Chains A and B, each alone.
Chain A
Amino acid sequence: MPSYPIEIILNRQLADCLSIPVFITDTSGNLIFYNEPADKILGTSYESTGEMQVEVWSTIFKPLDESGDPLPPEGLPLVQTLGDQLPHHKVFWIKSMKGNSEKISVTSYPIIGRTGDFLGAVAIFWETKDL
């Protein structure tokens, strides 16, 4: 398999230095990297799972709206970024590994390389103040 473009590699290296959860996907939504802080959200580690197909990792999240109703995938920032190659931001709730609803703030952005090509997307999970 060819190596990733440097724009993806550098995003991984940056994510590896951060204390906030970061997820990196390819253009199809397959999870190609997540950093250590993201382990807590996924309940596993990148060292254990390696890359994960979109259909596998997307089912781990149970995103909910403020009423506790499930959010459709198209309402999630990362899915929107993969669709329109634009940044998105949203506050919503996810079921934690312990079964609690936790408020979370997610920012996603597209990785557009020097050549202008869309190469993948990044989602950053920020802690909200009332978490």
Chain B
Amino acid sequence: MIVSIKGVRGSVPTSNNETNLFGGNTSCITVYEDGCLLIVDGGTGIQNVKLPGVLPKRIDILLTHLHLDHIQGLGFFHPLFETTQEVHIWGPSGASNNLRNRLNRFLSPPLFPIHFRDLPCNITLHDISNSIFEIAPFTIQSQYVIHPGPTVGFRIKGKNSVIAYIPDHEPALGPRGLLTDTKWISGFDLMKNVDLLLHDAQFTAAEYKTKIGWGHSSMEDCIKLASLSGVKRLLLTHHAPSHKDDFLDEYLVGLNSTNENHLDFEFAKEGMEIDLK
């Protein structure tokens, strides 16, 4: 299984010399195995997704939720404009609105020039919630996690490895912060013992104190969460737009100096490829 990082920024893309190292595109990764490519989230990082010269018969796009930083690039993804292309989009439904209605609010004028229904490709939408589904060779579990609006995280199991992707998540929400009894941790079942976890780490611990309820995690809570979950390797992602390269580099040194559990972690960077044998 090869995991490729295409977009790591949260909230809004950045484009300047001070964020080039980690990258300025919003959330998107790909997961590849045995000729099957999953695109997970459709932030502006989807521009970096390289498809083979001859498009595969089928493209699967998994969406954690429909906040703009996770779907902003979707409408500009060229396979959607190929008449013969089969595209499957998997995303969470709301309590009263299905995925089509919710996506249509973005992919229609005045926010987008074309109506969703007029996209020329052959689209199938899949409403997911606390679901398990297969896209060969992957078995995928989605589960609602704590974040404003219907939001899922994914656990993706390939032939020999398993990853979890939860880019927007606030498991520490509440007066006592992150609980240590794992039954009471949002998303724990997705993260448990994975080979690689990509998880929300938008804020520093100090920043989080003034952002409680915004739906995101501190880097410190993210590391604690990964340790509690038995994660083998952690990539902290969904970087705040204000977190410049120098700041992230410096902050990582501090995080490493307090890494009592010797967890293998670093900040996710655009362009990273992780080969999980």
Contact = CB atoms under 8 A, between A and B. Distances in A.
Contacts of A9: 146, 184-186
A17 B183 contact: no
Interface of B: 94-95, 129-130, 144-146, 150, 173-176, 182-189
Given A3-B189, A17-B175, A114-B129, 7 more contacts: A1-B183, A3-B182, A3-B186, A4-B183, A6-B186, A13-B174, A17-B174
Contacts of A97: none
Contacts of A10: 146, 173
Interface residues on A, range: 10 to 19
A4 B189 CA distance: 9
Interface in A1-39: 1-6, 9-10, 12-13, 16-17
B187 to A, nearest CB: 8
Contacts of A2: 183, 189
Contacts, number: 43
30 contacts: A2-B189, A3-B182, A3-B183, A3-B184, A3-B187, A3-B188, A3-B189, A4-B184, A5-B130, A5-B144, A6-B145, A6-B146, A6-B186, A9-B185, A10-B173, A12-B174, A12-B184, A13-B174, A13-B175, A16-B174, A16-B175, A16-B176, A17-B174, A17-B175, A113-B144, A114-B94, A114-B95, A114-B144, A114-B150, A115-B130
Contacts of A4: 183-184
A45 to B, nearest CB: 14
